Every structure is written in C-alpha cells, then in structure tokens.
Amino acid sequence: MIAAALRRVRSSERANGFTLVELLVASFLFLLLSSMVFTAVLSAARTTQNSREFNDLNEEARLLLNRMSRELREASAITAVDNPGHAVNASGTALYPAYYASDVDGDTEVTFNVDFNGNDTIEASAADPETLTYRYDSANRRVLLLAAGQTLPVLAAEVESFSFRYTSRVHESDGSVDAAKDGVVNWEELDADGTYADGNQNHVLDGQELSKIDSITIELTVLKGSRSQTYRTQVDLRNRPY
C-alpha cells in the first residue's frame, strides 16, 4: 500500500509540472521560431528599402532624360561634342572599325545653345544660361550639367553607362564610309562625306558636320547593387538651321 501511494504521488507531480528537458526543448523551439520570424521581417524590410532606392534612382534617371530631351529639342545649335563614340551593330561590333573617335576615355559630353527667352541672342552667363553642356563623368559614374561657369551633378554615383548617338537626315552621306547603305546616317558618314556633308575626314565630329546633326539618341544605364535599368530616347532637334 505504501508503494502504491508513492506511485500516485509521483504520477501527480509529473502531471502538474514540466521536466528540465521539456523546458529546454520548448526554449529552443521558441528561439528558433523567433529567429525565423526576425530574419523574415528583416529581409522584407531590406527588400522594401532596396526597391524604394532603386525606384527613386529610376525616377531621377527619367527626370534627367525628360529634361535633356526638352532642352535638346529646342537647341538652335550644337557647338561641340566630346567622345561621340562610333556606330555599332546589334551585337556591339563596330560598323566602321577603322573609323572611330580619337577620345576613348569613357567620358562623353555635348554642348549646345538654346534661346530660352526668344531674343535671338545666346546668353551664356545669364540667370537662365542658354549655353549648356551635359557631361558623363565615367570615373565617378555621374552626369554633370555645366552652365554659366558652374558644374552641377544632376545624377550622381549610380550611372553605369551613358552615351549619345548622333545621326542626320543628309541621306546622300549614307554609305560614305563602307558603301553599305542602311538608311541611317551616322556622324562617321558625315565626316567621311566631303561633298554633301562637307566632312573634313578627321575622325572627329566637328565643324560643318555638327550643323548637319538633327537627331540624338541618348542611352543611360543606372545600377543599384546587382540590379540595372537601361533607358533610351531619341530626340529630334526642331530648330536646326536646315
């Protein structure tokens, strides 16, 4: 009878409490679940932050392209370009391998005049400057605006690539480099054509060739971490002198 009583007491004690092993297992499971929930919440927050930053960067890129397109569309003259690049095919191979820009450091820029106030005078140092230069600073991965002696970053630190492509409606110059007519007159063809485009064959986009450029394609790639987005727009210059 004493043994039976002891068994009843021990059985009652087990029913009313937890063993040390059970407490340790429960604690481990709680910590594991807490860690999983915390990791998921942290990952979601990081993804949301990255998406927000990437969307902000894309919005800045779109604003830049819209601004440049508007200004170039109203340009009365393109006065200078630097490192205009060269024509390539769909796979990136140079169409004119022996005909390329002399400046290949990766930086590129275009300078143009816009008569914003319509007084037929280009005022480079006015409160609203009418001589503008957009420059891609490849070393620092940013796009700069140069006007009235000031240099302003308009898109900074995340610009993976930036390029201009210059074309013309002077159809007679088509094929002047390699005799292959494709319906698109690139600046190299203007430079090679001394008859219709008055090109000077110096492998540089300058002089009379600049006055024949009436369309510019802008291509911009922004990078955030491992994610990139490329934008491309074509601008037809409406105020060209021909």
Give residue-wise pLDDT tens across range 54-71: 777 778 888 889 999 999
Evaluate whether 194 touches 201 at the Cβ level (below 8 Å): yes
Evaluate whether 154 touches 143 at the Cβ level (below 8 Å): yes
- Return the pLDDT at 2: 47
Tokens of 72: 């170039």
Count CB neighbours of 52 within 10 A.
Answer: 10
- Return the pLDDT at 62: 86
Q: Is residue 15 domain-resident?
A: no
Q: Is residue 114 domain-resident?
A: yes
Q: Is residue 61 domain-resident?
A: yes
Residues with Cβ within 8 Å of residue 190, at least 6 apart in sequence: 168, 170, 173, 176, 197, 199, 205, 209, 212, 213
Q: Which residues face 161 on adjacent strands?
A: 221
Taking the CA atoms of 228, 229, 230 and 236 in sequence, report the sign of the dihedral they define: negative
- Return the pLDDT at 180: 83
- Return the pLDDT at 146: 92
In terms of Cα–Cα distance, which of 153, 149, 138, 190 is closest to 168?
A: 190
Residues with Cβ within 8 Å of residue 136, at least 6 apart in sequence: 106, 107, 108, 109, 142, 143, 144, 159, 162, 163
Residue 36 to residue 226: CA distance in whole angstroms: 26
Q: Is residue 116 domain-resident?
A: yes
Residue 85 belongs to domain spanning: 47-236
> Residues of the chain whose pLDDT is less than 50?
2, 6, 9
Instruction: Count how many domains the chain has.
Output: 1
- Return the pLDDT at 228: 80
Q: Is residue 128 domain-resident?
A: yes
Q: Is residue 165 domain-resident?
A: yes
- How is residue 173 annotated by DSSP? G
CA distances from 193 to 34, 94, 184, 187, 188 (A): 73, 19, 14, 10, 9
- Return the pLDDT at 8: 54
Q: Is residue 125 domain-resident?
A: yes
Beta strands 77-82; 108-113: pairing state: antiparallel
In terms of Cα–Cα distance, which of 216, 186, 212, 185 is closest to 70?
A: 216
Q: Which helix (H) or strand (E) element contains residue 137?
A: strand 131-137
Count CB neighbours of 91 within 10 A.
Answer: 5
Q: Is residue 18 domain-resident?
A: no
Helices and strands, counts by H and E, the chain: 4, 9
- Return the pLDDT at 6: 45
